[in-house]
Structure 1
Amino acid sequence: MKHKGVVFFDVDGTLIDWTKKIYAPTKVTKDAIVKLRENGYLTILATGRPKNCIDEGIVDLGLNGYIASNGAYAEIDNKVLFNETLDNKELKVLLDFLEENNVVYMLEGQESNYVLDLKNEKISNLIKEANLNIDNFSEEWDKETVKVSKIIAVAYDNKSFDLVCERFLKEGYAFMSNLSNGGLFEIYKAKYTKGYGVGHLLGLLDISKDNAYAFGDGENDIEMFQAVKYGIAMGGYHEKLEQYAYDFTEDVANEGIEKGLKKLGLI
């Protein structure tokens, strides 16, 4: 079947908003995505989350594929296209540095997440606030063999963030700070972005950038917006995203997905 185009959806702040206790897509969003597929468009998730953190509410949307861990992993129709992981020697150096500087962290793999201590207050709060499934976490792992795509660090001041950036920026890592939201910041290989995953999929699917759309709200959606013609920023978007947006819609609570798809004429 020849598709008219493809629409990529971010998760947090786009399909759901756990900061506002909206843990699953609304009925209006679900119905809009069903209509979108009926109208001949592929639907792909593009999230910073690993595959194991894509919860049932998102899976139940029946999307055609997933780009996870900021572009390090991709699958379509249940077939894994690529799954890039961090080099273990480099990872050990980074993790040792975090531990030496008292920065708590969580490692994200596609099958599982890894922590040193599930009872750590910062980790337990993160799992609770982000509505993550604790069954997807393990304390049994080894730095020299664990397969992960990204690191979530937890710190409550800019000093720790700046310290890590200064030490590892020249080694090919990228960093995304959200210190105001529980002190989180992400560490991942700069090469692997949502834009990398989106561009790779468009090539495999033989779909033109001119027929590609994306909905997002975060700083890590910039590269995704650059990889498509129509990047739609959700209400409450990160200020750095604005200049890359084709247009704007409302936030999750005000049914931004449905309104944005209607404005584009896709439903």
Structure 2
Amino acid sequence: MKNQLLICDLDGTLLDANGKVDHDSLEKIKKFCEDGGHFVICTGRMDSDIQYVEQQLGFKGEFRISQNGAVIKNAKEETVFFESIPSEYIASLNQAIFGMNLRTEVSTLENRLFPSPRDPENVAEFIDTSIVIKNLPDYVLQHAGKATIYLTFGTTNEFTTIKERIEKNLGKDKVGIVQTSPSSLEVFSAKVSKGNAVSFIMEKLAVSRKNVYVAGDAESDVSMFHLTDHAYAVREAHSDIIEQAGHYQKTVGHIVDEIYVNVKGV
């Protein structure tokens, strides 16, 4: 398996609705790695959460892709890729986003910055890296060049207004703007995507597209799908995601089975 690369999203892909890896997938991924396969987690979560999951899995990948491709670290804990939002955009983004008076959080390389404490019941991270900043807009402006993601909570109509405000201030396609759920919107560098991050990993590992397998379940994963003919939607992925992937398997373990069939014919 030494020339095979498996790229895997976390939530809704490797992890089920309860944040757990099914035993079958765990054992098959372990064997894949023991047989020389390259396994890389690619998620919107912080890098600290990938490390937590890897500890539970019992092995460490050569690379970790976090924050939907804004950050890539290697097994030596070195940051090999980091893409922040251009510093010259921060003032305009602050006005467009914070001006809506919605709850907005901002991520940096290592932390999530909050405008106020959150309800402990809403903590979704495995490792809490949050820091509460009293005047978050001013802090982000003073530390321009460090922000990777603005995460805002609201409604689809409010998100439409935010997008319009950003495009009025900066112009179209200057930053990436993605509604990641019915109640959340992310804004990040236009250079950032999971697809770009996976391309970076493919080059580093010298793996060709015919040997790359990607697994995801959401819109943020679609940018990976065009990099290979082995793109899979999994678990509860919506029909449009399955259509864009081209393949479907119930779990990542089933994808590993297909890798062995394709490579060894067994």
Q: Could you say whether these structures have the same fold, taking a TM-score greater than 0.5 normalized by the shorter chain as the test? A: yes
The one-letter code sitting in structure 1 at the alignment partner of 2:256 is: L
Question: How many Å separate the matches in 2 of 1:80 and 1:178?
Answer: 25
State the AA in 1 paired with 2:41.
L
1:29 equivalenced with 2:52 (yes/no): no
Q: Is the 8 A contact 2:7 2:41 kept in 1?
A: yes
Unpaired runs of 5+ in structure 2? none
Q: Which whole-Å deviations, capped at 9, do the CAs of 1:118-170 have from their partners, x for residues lacking one?
A: 14x5xx5542xx24544x11124611216221121100x22211011122241
- Mapping of 1:240-251 within 5 angstroms? 240-250=240-250
Letter in 2 for 1:137: S
Counterpart of 1:41 in structure 2: which amino acid?
A: G
In the alignment, structure 1 residue 138 sits paired with structure 2 residue 131:
yes
> What is the CA-CA distance between 1:207 and the residue it aligns to?
1.0
Would the aligned equivalents of 1:219 and 1:240 in 2 still touch at CA under 8 Å? no
Partner of 2:203: 203
Letter in 2 for 1:259: H
CA distance in 2, matches of 1:179, 1:221: 13
Residues in 1 aligned to 2:242 and 2:177: alpha-carbon distance in whole angstroms: 19
- How many Å separate the matches in 2 of 1:71 and 1:33? 22
Conservation of the 8 A alpha-carbon contact between 2:84 and 2:188: no
Shift of the 71–179 alpha-carbon distance from structure 1 to 2, 3 Å rule, reads closer
Indicate the residue corresponding to 2:116 in structure 1: 117
- Supply the distance in 1 between the matched residues of 2:111 and 2:70 (Cα, whole angstroms): 15
Contact kept? 2:179, 2:186, Cα under 8 Å: yes
**Residue 98 of structure 1: how far off its partner (Å):** 2.1
Partner of 1:56: 52
State the alpha-carbon separation in 2 of the partners of residues 51 and 231 from structure 1: 23
1:178 deviates by: 4.0
Distance in structure 1 (CA, Å) of the matches to 2:15 and 2:232: 16
CA distance in 1, matches of 2:179, 2:247: 25
Which residue of structure 2 lines up, in the alignment, with residue 253 of structure 1?
none
1:261 paired residue number: 256
Contact 1:50 1:109 in 2 (8 A): no
What is the aligned partner in structure 1 of residue 36 from structure 2?
40
Corresponding residue for residue 86 of structure 1: 85
For residue 263 of structure 1, report the CA deviation from its aligned partner: 3.0
Q: Report the AA paired with residue 28 of structure 2.
A: A
Instruction: Report the alpha carbon displacement of residue 179 of structure 1 after superposing the two structures with TM.
Output: 4.2
1:71 counterpart residue number: 69
AA partner of residue 201 (structure 1): I
Distance 1:82 1:138, change over 3 A: same
2:45 counterpart letter in structure 1: R
Distance 2:50 2:149 in 1: 15
Q: CA deviation at 1:81?
A: 1.3
Report the equivalent of 1:7.
6
SS of the residue corresponding to residue 60 of structure 1 reads: helix
**C-alpha distance in 2 between matches for 1:24 and 1:73:** 24
Report the RMSD for the aligned CA atoms in angstroms: 2.3
Query: How far is 1:80 from its partner?
Result: 2.2
Match of 2:192 in 1: 192
Q: Deviations over 1:206-255 (max 9, x none)?
A: 111111111111101111111223111102214442333242111xxxxx
Aligned to 1:174: 176
Separation in structure 2 between the aligned mates of residue 41 and residue 30 of structure 1, nearest angstrom: 14
CA contact (8 A) 1:9 1:46 kept: yes
Code of the aligned partner of 1:148: A
How many residues align structurally? 249
Q: Does 1:158 align with 2:156?
A: yes
Aligned-partner residue type, residue 131 of structure 2: S
8 Å CA contact 1:13–1:217 kept in 2: the answer is: yes
1:55 deviates by: 5.7
Partner AA of 2:108 in structure 1: G
Alpha-carbon offset, residue 60 of structure 1: 3.3
Q: Contact 1:152–1:185 at 8 Å: present in 2 too?
A: yes
When residues 167 and 59 of structure 1 are mapped into structure 2, their CA distance, relative to the original with a 3 A threshold, is farther
